[in-house]
């Protein structure tokens, strides 16, 4: 006996787009925080288009149709993976910045300072945070979008322009944070000090 057709396999971008839709539903008051967490669990476990139907069955707009662009394509190659359970993750000064960075932190803090190094035209940053916080310092003129970042009980803030500017590095920051905060900003300078 053949199994019923469940549609095509979905991508990480499809899951992220679905997660953003659920976050919007929470912001609109359509679902509770508990419902958001339950539905996100289904979304992140989804493998086929049919798996994405139940979390959206009672929401306006119905299913999330795979295929719509969620972000700029990431250059091929292995991502830089930074992982920590409880310790702090820091990258400052001159360091090698690839086009794709994946950060996994359960409880520790994360600081990625991109201001003193050479950058590719676009940097894709995937954050998978538990209760820790993440700060990303980007150079003046650089831009960043955080629209695909999903937060449970924490905050996501960006103090920089979100639209790409020709000739400047653009950061695409996405992923999920259970309880931690995410902040993207330019680095401050005053009286010879930088922070």
Closest CA to 125 of 153, 108, 106, 149: 149
- Its pTM stands at 0.61
Residues 6+ apart with CB under 8 A from 169: 114, 119, 120, 121, 122, 123, 138, 139, 142, 143
- Divide the 195 residues of the chain into consecutive groups of 10 and give the mean pLDDT of each group: 65 79 77 83 86 86 49 56 86 92 89 94 92 93 93 90 92 90 87 57
Residue whose pair of structure tokens reads 């993207």 in the numeric block: 184
- Please state the domain count of the chain: 2
Please calculate the CA angle 80-140-109 and round it to the nearest 5 degrees: 45
Q: What is the pLDDT of residue 195?
A: 53
Q: Do residues 115 and 154 both lie within one domain?
A: yes
Query: How many Cα neighbours within 13 Å face the side chain of 136?
Result: 28
By the 8 A CB rule, do 44 and 19 touch? yes
Q: What is the pLDDT of residue 180?
A: 82
Residue 73 lies in a domain: no
Q: What is the pLDDT of residue 74?
A: 41
Q: Do residues 84 and 60 both lie within one domain?
A: no
How far is residue 28's CA from residue 73's CA, in Å, rounded to a whole number? Answer: 30
Q: What is the pLDDT of residue 191?
A: 59
- The structure tokens listed for 97 are 């910045």
Q: Do residues 139 and 174 both lie within one domain?
A: yes
Q: Do residues 99 and 156 both lie within one domain?
A: yes
Residue 9 lies in a domain: yes
Which residue segment(s) compose the domain that 154 sits in? 80-194
Q: What is the pLDDT of residue 4?
A: 54
Residue 75 lies in a domain: no
Final residue belonging to a domain, choices 37, 67, 97: 67
Q: Do residues 102 and 189 both lie within one domain?
A: yes
Classify 30 as helix, strand or coil: coil
Query: How many Cα neighbours within 13 Å face the side chain of 79?
Result: 14
How far is residue 8's CA from residue 12's CA, in Å, rounded to a whole number? Answer: 13
Q: What is the pLDDT of residue 1?
A: 45
How far is residue 107's CA from residue 179's CA, in Å, rounded to a whole number? Answer: 10
Final residue belonging to a domain, choices 46, 67, 88: 67
Q: What is the pLDDT of residue 48?
A: 87
By the 8 A CB rule, do 55 and 43 touch? yes
Q: Do residues 62 and 120 both lie within one domain?
A: no
């Amino acid at each position: 006996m053949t199994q019923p057709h469940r549609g095509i396999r979905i991508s990480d971008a499809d899951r992220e787009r679905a997660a953003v839709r659920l976050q919007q539903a929470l912001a609109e008051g359509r679902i509770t925080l508990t419902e958001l967490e339950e539905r996100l669990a289904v979304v992140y476990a989804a493998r086929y288009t049919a798996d994405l139907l139940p979390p959206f069955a009672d929401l306006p707009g119905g299913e999330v149709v795979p295929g719509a662009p969620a972000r700029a394509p990431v250059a091929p190659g292995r991502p830089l993976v930074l992982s920590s359970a409880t310790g702090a993750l820091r990258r400052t000064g001159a360091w090698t910045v690839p086009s794709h960075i994946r950060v996994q932190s359960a409880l520790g803090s994360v600081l990625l300072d991109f201001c003193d190094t050479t950058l590719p035209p676009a940097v894709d940053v995937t954050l998978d945070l538990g209760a820790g916080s993440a700060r990303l310092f980007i150079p003046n003129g650089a831009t960043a979008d955080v629209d695909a970042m999903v937060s449970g009980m924490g905050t996501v803030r960006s103090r920089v322009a979100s639209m790409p500017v020709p000739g400047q590095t653009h950061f695409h920051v996405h992923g999920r944070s259970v309880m931690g905060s995410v902040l993207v900003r330019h680095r401050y300078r005053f009286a010879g000090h930088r922070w």
